[in-house]
Chains A and B, each alone.
Chain A
Amino acid sequence: MIIKNLTVRFGAFTAVDDVTLEIPAGAIVGLVGESGSGKSTLARAVTGLVPYTGEITGGDPRRIQMVFQDPYASLDPRMTVGASVAEGLRVPRAARQAEVERLLSLVSLPASMAGRYPRELSGGQRQRVAVARALGARPELLVADEITSALDVSVQGSVLNLVRSLREELGLSMLFISHNLAVVRYVSDVVAVMHRGRLVEMGATEEVVGSPRNGYTRSLLEAVPRLRRA
């Protein structure tokens, strides 16, 4: 899937400025940037939630799904997990329950979870449900917008592992957005850096992290807190 010359304007303000980005099939593209860099706006444009100019080619734009940052706000509190997951399904009613169970098992949740309400789940479990709901629409591209930043460190690891296993098992393409460079580095094949609405650097993860060419990328890399810094 290729995002070509995508621009988003809010009045006189240009939030995303002429971004061209290729997401190879079966790859995870990590998008990093600071608040206000336009990365979340780009995500909302790609998923059709905000109007944009430019085009998205090489895929069905209706088969793009998104997982949101806050798992406490992205599930309807009055719907059971099963009903939420079933929402995007295009299967006959009879096959619905089996499909919900299959999706829950994909994100390593027990089938019994289907009857529960979001308030009974932990943040990590809710985020898994949100991923299962998105997978139900059989997406060609999954956009993950800061999906671990509202989670505690101890559960962040399991969600990142899930992201990687989905790519390996389903061959899912993903646009993985985060302000945390260490997290992006861990899950992504390709890293793209956004700054003030523009894409300033893009390349294979090891290259961008190992030998950044752009000055802004370098300052971002230097700022990452490191536990093992000498």
Chain B
Amino acid sequence: MRHLLRTPAGLAGTTLVGLMVILAIAGPPIWGAEAERIDPAVILQGASAAHPLGTDNLGRDILARVLVAGRLSLVLALLATLIGAIGGIVLGALPSVLPRRAARLVTGTVNALVAFPGLLLAMFTAVVAGLGARGAVLGIGVAIAPGFARLTQTLAASVSGADYVSAARMLGVPRRRIMARHVLPNIAEPLILNLTQALGGALLGLAGMSFLGLGVQPPSFDWGRLLFDGFGRIYSTPAVALGPAVAVALAGIGFNLLGDVLARAASRTAVPAGKAVPRAVSAPGALGEPDPEAVLEVRDLTVTFPGGVTPVRGLSLTVAPGEIVGLVGESGSGKSLTASAIGGLVPYPGEVSAARLRLCGTDLGELPEQERRKLLGTSLAMVFQDPMASLNPALRVGGQLAEVATVHQGASRAEARARAVDRLRHVRIPEPDRRARQHPHELSGGMRQRAVIAMGLMGTPRLIIADEPTTALDVTVQRQILRLLREVTGESGAATLFISHDIAVVGELCHRVVVMYAGRVVEELPVEKLASGAAHPYTRALVASLPDMDTDRSLPLASISGHQPSPAELGPGCAFAARCELATGRCAERPPLIPYGKAHQVACWEAS
């Protein structure tokens, strides 16, 4: 509710609608007598101090009449909207419950009605139903119904494809019941939002009908009727017509603004653009000298979101040339955000800070914006889970690769294109010349991932960050992509940071493994130790709970009870303690990451 009032549009809409409701309730009791009082002395007057909007042909005060007419206008609009909404929702829901042939007939009728101009439909119905308020309300209701029917149908169709509807069908739940229990409650929200906007439309429509003389008939009056009565005098005494016109406009604008704001709040699309820039925090004393060999050196990387949510906490990481480091963790452990933070891709309003964030010997936090972009653009290659996220579906593959060379290396178009084909050949895409002329959708998933890697190889990457690059691929294709990554790292001497939830894949590909849990590194170990030499209880449980081709089938699998705490739930102690069998009182204090044998670090008090 609070966000309704935060934007000017929301504030205006809510205020206008609120005023209209108050007017509808309080208007007639207060000004009712005044609006009906006939005064032959002041017939057909213009604006004056006594009658700010003038008087009508019986000398009645038009301001009072406008204020009183609010109730009838709003009630009629509400009725028309309800008729339209109920009719439309029933019509839209019918195809989901009727047998196939009848459903098709209903769908066809709705389609025809949607194509028919609304106002014409309203006037036609109003004339058939008889002049007067009833006809106008029916007419507007009928005009609104097809839109609602179409919306209901579309929304219902999307929900009908949901797994829970399939599950209910399999359980033998009748179609009518599925509609009532599963479909309608899940589409209610957008329908109600549409109702608010339709109300504004109905108000305008009814005023239009009355203005045309098809709506409310004397002695009753609504805003449209007042407008109709005053219109003839618009040149001599304009206030007479402008008063009701302003009332209609304000009410229409109010309902539409409110509907708009409600719809936007419901779709939660308020994610503004902008990227968080790494900010150097004042370096603590024991940071040490930067490692001259390392391609990537991260010290105390922290990513914070407003409200004190910190998904990545004090992460440190070093990757040497030619080395593949695996970053493993469950969803929500902060591993992907770590990659985004290094690449400068953390979405607003996330905030990145690090005591040190060095790429190729340059501190990213100290570089001006333009140079940082250039450095990242030329020396960092990123490969994501969904290759379609990195490829523009509308452009040819070759052109997209060539763009890297023309933008960052100033190559000519012909040179860039030749290099693109060469890189595609390098990642072993068959017929690279032909493939370069194709669009991404013409390539298979594995081929697309190869093309993304080739794109990273257009420059001379010093660091390759691969975030779950094989998760969406089949195992046989996964194997090829892993081999390709290994070769590319080996021959280019680049450092690779490989992020995955799959500890088996990491075990196969990487030299060194960094295990993350709830935003922190809990263990860092050489890959040879992963299978049987891990020290942290979480790493050990992860390894044990993973079935592989040698798992003993007669024994139950190890599993970890409970779930990983979300960043907001984290306390001061060890985040894993609640799920840990070894936990003691000491774990209320967070264990630091300390050396544990050669090239091995662990953050656990009980590690032995």
Contacts of B563 in A (CB 8 A): 122, 124, 155
Query: What residues make up the interface of A, taking CB atoms closer than 8 Å to B?
Result: 34-35, 47-49, 62, 64-66, 68, 70, 73-79, 84, 87-88, 122, 124, 130, 133-134, 136-137, 152-158, 160-161, 164, 179-183, 185-186, 205, 209, 219-229
Q: B169, B531, B543, B559 — which one has the most chain A CB atoms within 10 A of its CB?
A: B559
CB distance from A102 to the nearest CB of B (A): 17
In contact, A220 and B475 (Cβ under 8 angstroms): yes
Q: Does B507 contact A (CB under 8 A)?
A: yes
A-B contact pairs, 5 of them (CB 8 A): A88-B173, A160-B547, A161-B556, A183-B547, A227-B508
Contact of B501 among A64, A87, A153 (CB under 8 A): A153
Supposing A87-B173, A154-B542, A161-B556 touch, asked if A75 and B331 sit within 8 A by C-beta, the answer is no
User: Which chain A positions have C-beta within 8 A of B559?
Assistant: 154-158, 161
Asked if A223 and B479 make an inter-chain contact with CB atoms under 8 angstroms apart, the answer reads yes
Within 8 Å by CB of B549, from A68, A87, A124, A182, lies A182
- CB-based contact A223/B478 at 8 Å: yes
Question: Which B residues are within 8 Å of any A CB, using their own CB?
Answer: 162-164, 166-173, 181-182, 185-186, 330-331, 445, 474-476, 478-479, 482, 501-505, 507-508, 530-531, 541-551, 553, 556-561, 563-564
With A154-B545, A182-B549 in contact, is A227–B503 under 8 Å at CB? yes
Assess the B549–A152 pair: CB atoms within 8 A. Answer: no
Establish whether residues B475 and A68, one from each chain, have CB atoms under 8 Å apart when the complex forms: no
Cβ–Cβ contact A34 & B170, under 8 A = no
How many angstroms between the C-alpha atoms of A185 and B553 in the bound complex? 8
Q: Are A226 and B549 in contact (CB under 8 A)?
A: yes
Say whether B170 contacts A65, CB under 8 Å. Answer: yes
B552: nearest residue on chain A (CB-CB)?
Answer: A186
Is there an interface contact between B476 and A227, defined as CB atoms closer than 8 Å? no
Contact of A49 among B170, B330, B474, B557 (CB under 8 A): B170
Of chain B, the residue at the smallest CB distance from A149 is: B471
B507 touches A225 (CB 8 A): yes
Asked if A68 and B503 make an inter-chain contact with CB atoms under 8 angstroms apart, the answer reads: no
Would you call B163 and A70 a contact (CB within 8 A)?
Answer: yes
Is there an interface contact between A78 and B166, defined as CB atoms closer than 8 Å? no
* Docked-complex contact A87 and B502, CB < 8 angstroms: no
Complex Cα–Cα for A223 and B504 (A):
12
Q: Are A223 and B476 in contact (CB-based, < 8 A)?
A: yes
Partner of A225, one of B162, B186, B502: B502
Question: B507 to chain A: which residues have CB within 8 Å?
Answer: 225-229
Query: Which residues of A sit under 8 angstroms from B557, Cβ to Cβ?
Result: 157-158, 160-161, 186
Bound Cα distance from A106 to B173, whole angstroms? 23
Does the CB pair B162–A73 fall under 8 Å? yes
Contacts of A62 in B (CB 8 A): 172
Residues of A contacting B169 with CB < 8 Å? 49
Q: Is B505 within 8 A of A225, CB to CB?
A: yes
User: CA A225 – CA B527 in complex, angstroms?
Assistant: 14
Q: Which residues from A are CB-within-8-Å of B505? A: 225
**Complex formed: what's the CA distance from A24 to B212 in Å?**
76
Chain B: which residue is nearest A84 at the CB level? B164
B547: chain A residues within 8 A (beta carbon): 157, 160, 182-183, 185-186
Residue of B nearest to A88 (CB): B171
On whether the beta carbons of B549 and A224 are closer than 8 Å, the reply is yes
Point out the residues of chain A lying under 8 angstroms from B478, CB to CB.
Answer: 223, 225
Nearest 9 interchain pairs by C-beta: A88-B171, A157-B559, A157-B545, A157-B557, A158-B559, A34-B474, A74-B163, A227-B507, A186-B547
A122 CB contacts on chain B under 8 angstroms? 563
- Contact between chains at A227 and B558 (CB < 8 Å): no
Q: Are B170 and A182 in contact (CB under 8 A)?
A: no
State how many angstroms separate the Cβ of A1 from the closest Cβ of chain B: 16
Closest Cβ–Cβ distance, residue B501 to chain A (whole Å): 6
Which residues of chain B have C-beta atoms less than 8 A from A209's C-beta?
Answer: 549
Residues of chain B within 8 A (CB-CB) of A185 are 547, 549, 551, 553
CB neighbours of A130 from chain B (8 A): 167
CB proximity of B170 to chain A, nearest CB, Å: 6
Are B546 and A219 interface neighbours, CB within 8 A? no
Q: Which of B162, B542, B547 has the most CB of A within 10 A?
A: B547
Q: Is the CB of A227 within 8 A of B162?
A: no
In the complex, the answer to whether B546 meets A227 with C-beta atoms within 8 Å is yes
Chain B nearest CB from A51 CB (Å) reads 12
Chain A residues with CB under 8 A of B181? 76, 79
Q: Write the chain B residue with the least CB distance to A154.
A: B560
**CB proximity of B437 to chain A, nearest CB, Å:** 25
Q: How far is the CA of A172 from the CA of B269 in the complex (A)?
A: 46
CB of B475 within 8 A of CB of A181, answer: yes
> How far apart are the CA atoms of A49 and B163 in the complex, in Å?
11
Q: Is the CB of A153 within 8 A of B476?
A: no
A136 to chain B: closest CB distance in Å?
Answer: 7
Determine the distance from Cα of A76 to Cα of B165 in the docked complex, in whole angstroms: 8
Contact (Cβ within 8 A) B541 A154? yes
B171 touches which of A136, A156, A222, A225 (Cβ 8 Å): A136
Inter-chain contacts of B162 with A (CB < 8 A): 73-74
* Cβ A156 vs Cβ B508 within 8 A: no
Instruction: Name the B residues within 8 Å of A66 (CB-CB).
Output: 166-167, 170
Residue of B nearest to A227 (CB): B507
Partner of B170, one of A48, A152, A155, A228: A48
- Kindly provide the distance from the CB of B518 to the nearest chain A CB, expressed in whole angstroms: 12
